[in-house]
Every structure is written in C-alpha cells, then in structure tokens.
C-alpha cells in the first residue's frame, strides 16, 4: 500500500513540475526540446498499444501520422479550418485507412501485416506526392499562420508562443500514457496480450482475434494521427518524406524497441534516450564535444568530415541502435533493467 | 498496338531484373524463414560497387557482374554469420527489425561516403535502342541485362536441382530439422543461401545501374517490390518469384503508359494488397506455414 502512495506522490510531483515549467523557463529552445519529447512519447506510446501489447508490429505508422498531419494542414491551409476542428477530420480519415488495412491483413499470419503496413504507408506517401491539387505535391504545405479559434468575437486560443504547444504536447503525452495504462489494466488489454502470446490459445478461449486486432489498430492509429496533427501545426510545414517516409515509421517503432515494448514506461524511457541523442547529432553537439576534449581537431580532415556529415547521421544511429538492441537486449531497456533487478533479487535471497 | 507491344516488351525486360531480386529474397526466406528487409539496400550496395568499378577502373557494368557477384556473395555470407545467424530462433519481429536496422546502416553509411546526390552511370550504349520492326524499339542495356538475368537464373536452377550443395539447400528449405538429421550442415547452407541471395540482389543492382539513378535510398522501393514479387509467386518458390518479377515489370510499365508514371508504384502496391486479400498464398503457391 505504501508503495502505491509513494508512486502516486512521485507522479504528482513530476506532473506539477512539468506544468510549472513554462512559468519559469523562458528559453524557446528548452521548450522546443520538451515539446519534441512529448511528441516522441505520444508517438511511441500509440505504437506500443498495437505493437507492444497486441504484438502486431506495424512498420507503417507513418501512414497514420502523415494522414493526420496532412488532413489538418490541408483543411487549415485551404479552408482556414481551425486545428481544433481539423484534428477530428484527421482522426476520421485515419480510422478509415486503419480499418481498410486491418480488414485486409489481420486475417493473415506471419510477416504479411508488416509487409502490408509498409505498402500502405508507401501508397500514402506516393499519393501525397501525386495528388498535387490537394497536397501541393513534393513541395509540401507551409502554413505560416494558424487561424485563431473564436467563439463569437472572443478569441479562445491563439498560437503565438511555444507555451500553448507545450501544454498541448504535455496533454497528448499524458493522454497516450493514460490510454496505455487503461489498456494494460482492462479486459481489452488482457485480450491483446493473450493474442500476442499465443493466437491459437486466445482463439480457443473465444477471443475474436481479428476484431480485437482491429480495435488495437484503430486506437493506436487515432492516437498517432493526433500526434501527427500536433506535429504539423507545431512545425507549420509538412511534406511527404518528413511525415510519410519509412524513416518516420522506423523512428516511431524504435522509441518502443529501445525503451521496451509492452511496458508502460518503455516509450517514455526510449524518448528520453532518442530525442536528446538525435538532437545532439543534428546540432553538431557531438562533434563539438569531440573537438573540445581534443580527440579531433577542427581543421583536420576528420573534423571537417564529422562537422559536415554527422548532422545527417541520426538515421544511421537509429540503424545501429536497432541492431544492438535486438542482438543484446531484445526486451529493450525496461526488460534489461527488470532482468538485472530479478538477478539481484535472486542473489540477495 | 505499337505502344502496347512496346510497354509489354520493356516490362518483361525490366521484370527479369526484378525477378533476380525476388529470387534472392525468396531463397533466403525459404532456407531461413527470415524476411530480409534489407534486401533492397543490398542491391543498392551492388549498384555503388558497379559505379565504383566503372568510374575508378573503367569496368563495364555488365562485365563487372563477374566481380560483384563473388564480392556480394561474401558480403551476404558475412551478414548472415555475424548478424542474422544470432536471431534464427528469435521471434519473427526481431528478425524483421534486425534486417531493417542493417538496411538503415547500409543506406546511411553509403550516404555518408557518397552523399545523397543522384549518380548516373553513362555508358556508350546507355540510351541506344534496337529497332524490332512495327515501330517497336528495344533498349539495348535492358536487353543485355535481361539476357544476363536469364543466364544467371538458368545457372541457379541447375545449381539448385543438380548439384549436391543445391540439393542440400533445398532439403534445408523443406525441413530444417530433418535435413540436419540427414547430416546436412544447415548453418553452412544458411550462409550459402544468404550469400547467394545477396549476390543475386547485387547482380540485379549492377544490371540496372546503366538505366537507373543511383542514390543511397534507392533500396527501399526495391525491397518492397521484392516482397510484392515473392508474395505474388508464393513465399519460398523460385519459379514463382521469376513469374512474379515479370508480372510486376509488365504491370509497372503498362501503368506508366496508360495511367501515369507517378502512379505506377501505387498500382503495384495496390495489386499487392489485392493479392493479400484474395489469394495470400500467392498466385502460384500453396500456403506453407
């Protein structure tokens, strides 16, 4: 009992601290990093529900992320629809896409779902490139101004600083964590885990496998679409490779794999590792650090090479991380930590 | 009619090369039950190898197959021994993720070395054609690559059917445990199968390099196409992959002509989803799970 109270207390303190951050932190860069972190948590957590709990590893979540982002942005750009309304259209579009994919793939076993999920994401990406009248093709959609949300004459929301984005991002991250928690502790979640562990056994116990896989897919897709809409509005720009590319799908998946699939805190842990790491690469922090400790000099060939190229190397890093995690910690960091703890416990006994 | 014939012929020719990529994938899947998501990236490595041989030493892309085939075989064997072998008994998801990771490492390492610029390999015959009569012209490099593909496929067929190693590979694909009990060194067969798969993909890369743009991300599309081909032909079936490759080549060139070139890949992927919907065991195959 004490442990639960302690946990709740820690949770409340962290939440209060997170809520208070914009009051005391002015640096837009720090807020930006926090927003990226929230975005990553919500992406990872959405994937976790389908991939981690129901065991259906989608390598095409960019489809939902991108369709959400594009729908909101297209409506905002062409029809001045406020994002608060646009996100619902995005979610509706994603539900349609998800159900089409689900009804095709979930009758099959084996690698078919993975293959089909990639194919669908590619279809979406190519469509975004080719449907130029709707999506502005490869150039993407740039939205310089977000229309303010007004009821009558009173302005309800404006997006002039990073602060509202911070709170929306925080809300999104908490929402996805809450949904995951709910899934983990509900009948639905037990069904998911039964399907993940043994389809035949689950089926023989009377669980309608295809139906529950589809439910998992829709929950996961809708949440990913929310994250996509949020990303589109926050960055103010979407184009096919940045929201619909294979990299996006891999990155979403990677958050969970590194942290630990099928655990509540895995995606949070994964985000805490991945976001700072890719930011450090992107902003050349790692090169600067190597220069500072004197490992490489700025003017040497190696130094110039690193400076020019390491900024683009974050996808290479994703690749290396995937390989290392799969080979050495297939259950992710959470699994690794749990195993260590279990071993300690056994030794202590 | 001339347009139809034209696109049919070029579809069959490019389809031959697709078949080569598909056969490699299906061979790997057959022997190891591993779906190699880095297959297109292996092909991309083959393209850059050809590009290097051509620009540094002036080796003709078609002649360079003689060099790239063994090199890519060794590369594939290395990948199998160091990485894939460790996950043979892991859950399917981990195998998939591992090969995706390897693919990302390949494409991004190549990007670091060569930048992401599009490279073009221009030979004296890159844009030359042969007039076949009736207003139909055939691209010379495509025709040569098709002939080489046919020769390699025939040689592979002979190797798998007639030699001891080939029979051992087929036995491993049929039943790994039984093959092991019969004294076949299955882990050696796995290395050979992956090596062959990589060599075929690399060769396909060499063969299309005179007619295709070369860039680090080129692999992704080909990985997907290879899947479409193998699923069409039935996973694990070499004959199926050959037919699947040609079918995809024709579909692509027809839809480029009659719909638009921007949508041709979409048509292929939609076809893939339709096959999954109506005949998931493939057009040729019986389902083996």
For the residues B220-230, what does the mean pLDDT come to? 87
**Contact between B276 and A253 using a beta-carbon 8 Å cutoff:** no
Rounded Cα gap, residues A116 and A112, in angstroms: 6
Among residues 256-285 of chain A, which lie with CB inside 8 Å of chain B? 257
Q: Which domain holds residue B80?
A: 2-278
pLDDT at B288: 45
Q: What percent of chain B has pLDDT over 70?
A: 97
Q: Tell me, what's the ipTM?
A: 0.84
What is chain B's mean pLDDT, rounded? 87
Which residues from chain B sit within 8 angstroms of residue A107, using beta carbons?
A: 280
* pLDDT value at B91 more than 90: no
Q: What is the nearest CA distance from B226 to chain A, expressed in angstroms? A: 11
pLDDT at B203: 94
Q: Which of B86, B260, B273 sits opposite A104 (nearest CB)?
A: B273
- CB of A120 closer than 8 Å to CB of B273: yes
pLDDT at B25: 92
Contacting residues for B196 by C-beta, under 8 A, at least 6 apart:
B24, B27, B73, B76, B156
Q: Which CATH number is B80's domain given?
A: 1.10.3470
Specify if B289 maps to a domain.
Answer: no
Specify if B283 maps to a domain.
Answer: no
Q: What is the pLDDT of residues B226-247, one digit of tens each?
A: 988 888 887 777 888 888 899 9
Q: Using pLDDT thresholds of 50, 70 and 90, give the confidence band for residue B287.
A: very low
pLDDT at A14: 87
Q: What is the nearest CA distance from B266 to chain A, expressed in angstroms? A: 5
Return the residue in A108, A129, A246, A335 with the most chain B beta carbons within 10 A, the one to mutate for interface testing: A246
Q: What is the pLDDT of residues B33-86, one digit of tens each?
A: 888 999 999 999 999 999 999 999 888 888 899 999 999 999 999 999 999 988
Q: What is the nearest CA distance from A119 to chain B, expressed in angstroms? A: 6
**Contact between B94 and A330 using a beta-carbon 8 Å cutoff:** yes
Specify if B287 maps to a domain.
Answer: no
Which residues from chain A sit within 8 angstroms of residue B109, using beta carbons?
A: 316
Specify if B104 maps to a domain.
Answer: yes
Rounded Cα gap, residues B214 and B207, in angstroms: 12
Q: Rounded to two decimals, what is the model's pTM? A: 0.86
**Regions of chain A with pLDDT less than 70:** 1, 110, 148-158, 160, 298, 308, 349
Specify if B284 maps to a domain.
Answer: no
Q: What is the pLDDT of residues B119-175, one digit of tens each?
A: 888 877 777 788 777 777 888 888 888 999 999 999 998 998 899 998 999 888 888
Specify if B112 maps to a domain.
Answer: yes
Q: What is the DSSP letter of A145?
A: -
Specify if B176 maps to a domain.
Answer: yes
pLDDT at A154: 64
Specify if B285 maps to a domain.
Answer: no
For the residues B254-277, what does the mean pLDDT come to? 86
| Count of domains observed in chain B | 1
Rounded Cα gap, residues B266 and B198, in angstroms: 26
- The structure tokens listed for B178 are 């039984």
**Contact between A250 and B104 using a beta-carbon 8 Å cutoff:** yes
pLDDT at B49: 94
Give the 3-state secondary structure percentages of chain A, helix then strand then coil, rounded to 5: 80, 5, 20
Cα separation values, A215 from A44, A98, A165, A218, Å: 18, 10, 29, 5
Which residues from chain A sit within 8 angstroms of residue B113, using beta carbons?
A: none
Q: Please check whether residue A330 touches B, CB under 8 A.
A: yes
């Amino acid at each position: 009992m004490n442990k639960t109270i302690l946990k709740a207390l820690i949770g409340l303190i962290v939440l209060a601290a997170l809520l208070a951050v914009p009051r005391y932190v002015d640096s837009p860069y720090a807020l930006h990093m926090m927003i990226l972190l929230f975005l990553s948590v919500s992406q990872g957590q959405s994937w976790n529900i389908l991939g981690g709990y129901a065991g259906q590893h989608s390598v095409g979540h960019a489809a939902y992320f991108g369709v959400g982002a594009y729908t909101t942005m297209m409506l905002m750009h062409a029809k001045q629809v406020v994002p608060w309304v646009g996100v619902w259209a995005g979610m509706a579009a994603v539900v349609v896409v998800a159900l089409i994919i689900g009804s095709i793939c979930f009758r099959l076993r084996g690698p078919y779902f993975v293959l089909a999920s990639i194919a669908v994401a590619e279809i979406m990406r190519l469509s975004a490139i080719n449907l130029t009248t709707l999506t502005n093709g490869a150039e993407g959609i740039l939205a310089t101004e977000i229309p303010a949300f007004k009821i009558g004459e009173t302005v309800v929301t404006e997006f002039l600083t990073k602060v509202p984005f911070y709170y929306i991002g925080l809300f999104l991250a908490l929402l996805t964590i809450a949904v995951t928690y709910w899934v983990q502790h509900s009948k639905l979640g037990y069904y998911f885990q039964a399907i993940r562990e043994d389809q035949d056994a689950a089926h023989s116990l009377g669980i309608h496998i295809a139906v529950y896989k589809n439910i998992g897919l829709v929950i996961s897709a809708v949440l990913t679409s929310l994250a996509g809409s949020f990303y589109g509005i926050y960055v103010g720009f979407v184009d096919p490779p940045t929201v619909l590319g294979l990299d996006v799908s891999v990155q979403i998946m990677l958050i969970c794999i590194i942290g630990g699939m099928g655990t509540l805190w895995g995606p949070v842990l994964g985000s805490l590792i991945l976001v700072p790491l890719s930011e450090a690469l992107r902003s050349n922090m790692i090169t600067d650090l190597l220069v500072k400790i004197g490992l490489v000099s700025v003017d040497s060939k190696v130094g110039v090479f690193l400076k020019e190229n390491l900024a683009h190397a974050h996808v290479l890093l994703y690749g290396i991380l995937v390989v290392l995690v799969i080979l050495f910690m297939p259950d992710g960091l959470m699994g690794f930590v749990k195993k260590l703890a279990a071993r300690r416990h056994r030794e202590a006994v | 009619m001339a347009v139809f014939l034209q696109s049919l012929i070029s579809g069959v020719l490019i389809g031959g090369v697709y078949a080569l990529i598909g056969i490699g994938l299906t061979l790997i899947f057959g022997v190891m039950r591993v779906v190699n998501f880095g297959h297109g990236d292996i092909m991309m490595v083959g393209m850059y190898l050809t590009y290097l041989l051509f620009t540094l030493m002036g080796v003709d892309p078609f002649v360079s197959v003689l060099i790239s085939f063994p090199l890519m075989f060794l590369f594939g064997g290395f990948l199998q021994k160091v990485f894939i072998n460790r996950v043979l008994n892991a859950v399917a998801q981990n195998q998939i993720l591992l090969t995706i990771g390897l693919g990302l490492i390949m494409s991004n390492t190549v990007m670091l070395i060569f930048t992401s610029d599009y490279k073009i390999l221009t030979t004296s015959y890159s844009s030359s054609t042969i007039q076949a009569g009736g207003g139909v012209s055939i691209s010379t490099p495509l025709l040569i690559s098709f002939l080489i593909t046919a020769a390699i496929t025939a040689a592979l067929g002979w190797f798998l059917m007639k030699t001891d190693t080939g029979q051992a590979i087929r036995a491993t694909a049929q039943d790994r445990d039984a093959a092991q009990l019969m004294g076949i060194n299955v882990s050696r067969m796995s290395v050979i199968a992956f090596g062959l798969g990589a060599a075929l993909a690399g060769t396909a890369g060499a063969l299309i390099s005179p007619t295709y743009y070369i860039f680090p991300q080129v692999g992704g599309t080909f990985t997907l196409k290879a899947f479409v081909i193998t699923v069409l032909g039935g996973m694990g079936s070499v004959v199926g992959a050959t037919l699947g490759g040609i079918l995809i080549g024709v579909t692509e060139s027809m839809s480029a002509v009659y719909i638009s070139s921007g949508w041709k890949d979409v048509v292929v992927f939609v076809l893939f989803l339709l096959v999954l919907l109506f005949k998931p065991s493939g057009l040729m195959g019986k389902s083996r799970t």
